[in-house]
Amino acid sequence: MNLIPITSPSFLDPGLLGRLPDWRSIFNTDNPLVLEIGCGVGDFAASMATLHPEWNYLALDYYNKGCLKTCKRADKAGLSNLRVVRDEARSFMERCIEPGSLRAVIINCPDPWPKLRHRKRRLVNAAFIAYLRGFMQSGGELFFSTDFVDYGLDVAGMMPGIPGFENLLAPDLYRHNLTGYPLSKYMIKFMAEGKQIHFVHYRKHPQTGRIHAEG
Ligand SMILES: C[S@@+](CC[C@H](N)C(=O)[O-])C[C@H]1O[C@@H](n2cnc3c(N)ncnc32)[C@H](O)[C@@H]1O
């Protein structure tokens, strides 16, 4: 495959990242690490990194052109707290993220795989959320949004059954607006078509980080 080379200083070549990289030296700060999975073209990542200079923000996608565009946004805005990685989410986390370290995990408009027979290809399911929980710090936030109703209801419905999380939108399981949360390219596209976004927002249980009610 011919990939357009990315030479931006915001780009982290996963091939050159060692196991459990020293994020502190990469970002030049000890700020907590936030991971956005499937950042697309990086509009949301740039907005979120601007809103949260106190976060070290990793925007991840395996789509090279998206990584390139995200890097361009980071460079143009001079965002020293944003880095871009071209990799597959699980593979990257296994190698590069210390368990219990993420301040937040963000997933916006993941591929919906609308056909029934393809649903099992969806990135987000109960097993994946439980897997993410292991990489999150106690009190760390999980943001999920989707433009696809069925996906939104599915994730909103499964979250209360996944131990170790607290619903930050309670008593609602999801909302169609999340104050202060930037809009991504896909959100804007689907909202322009009159569709509603489902937002889900949880926190890893802040008391102990222990997993409650697990059988
Ligand atoms: C529908 S796009 C949404 C992009 C962006 N989040 C937005 O809301 O505009 C989904 C993105 O997730 C990426 N993606 C899907 N599965 C992934 C995985 N396992 N690891 C990394 N990226 C993934 C795709 O390459 C694609 O860019």
pLDDT tens, position by position, 166-215: 999 999 999 999 999 999 999 999 999 999 999 999 999 976 545 544 43
109 lines ligand 1 (CB under 6 A): yes
Domain ranges (residues) in the chain: 11-204
- Spatial neighbors of 115 by CB under 8 A, at least 6 apart, are none
From 22, 30, 43, 111, the catalytic residue: 111
For residue 172, indicate whether it is catalytic.
Answer: no
Length of the chain: 215
User: Which pTM value belongs to this model?
Assistant: 0.95
C-beta separation of 150 from 116 below 8 A: no
181 lines ligand 1 (CB under 6 A): no
Taking only the tens place, the pLDDT of each residue in 107-127 is 999 999 999 999 999 999 999
What is the topology classification, in CATH, of domain 11-204?
Rossmann fold (3.40.50)
107 CA closest ligand 1 atom index = 6
Residue 25 to residues 21, 81, 142, Cα–Cα distance (Å): 9, 12, 25
CA of 101 relative to ligand 1 center, distance in Å: 22
Residue 194 to residues 60, 127, 147, 191, 204, Cα–Cα distance (Å): 28, 32, 10, 5, 33
CA of 59 relative to ligand 1 center, distance in Å: 10
Distance CA 120, CA 174 (A): 22
